[in-house]
Structures are given as structure tokens and as C-alpha cells.
Amino acid sequence: MENPANVKKKLPTVEIDLNQCKGCALCIESCMPKVLSLSPAYNQLGYQYAVYGGNGCTGCEACYYACPEPGAIAVYKEKKVKA
């Protein structure tokens, strides 16, 4: 659990480390709201990488579990805590 300063977008959201993505597109396949797509550009490894459009993530984590790379995808969402 963390609250990094760079998470400024509205939650829930998904962060994809473009240089850890191998372009298998299984996250795109798994995404129910269809908010992920493959970039036209290539990353350091030479793959087209998955990108998030910035809107519509439901925080379901399907893309996280679909992704074979341990660190490529992170999903952030809000969680209610009891006072």
C-alpha cells in the first residue's frame, strides 16, 4: 500500500511501465471497459506497448492478472477505511 505523489489522475487508474511491456496485448484482451490499446510507437525493448487512454478504468485488476510481466502494470484505486 502506498500513495505515490505521481498518482494524480482520477482513481481508479492503471499505470503501465512502457519499458517493461512486451506488447503481447493480453491486457487489452482482458480489459472489460476496453480502455487499453497498443501504442503505434515502440519501446526500448522494441515492442509496441500497451497504453491507457486516461478514462474509464474500473479498477477491476484484470489487466494486472493478465500481464505476464511482474512489474509492467499497476492498478491504483481508492479503498474506504474505517475511521
Q: How far is the CB of 17 from other proteins (least distance, A)?
A: 8
Chain residues binding other proteins by CB under 8 A are: 1-4, 7, 11, 17, 19-20, 22-26, 29-30, 44-45, 47, 61-62, 64-81, 83
Nearest distance in Å: CB 53, other proteins: 19
CB 81, min distance to other proteins, A? 6
- Asked if residue 33 has a cis previous peptide bond (ω within 30° of 0), the answer is no
Cell 502494470 belongs to 73
Q: Which of 6, 7, 29, 16 is nearest to 77 (CA)?
A: 7
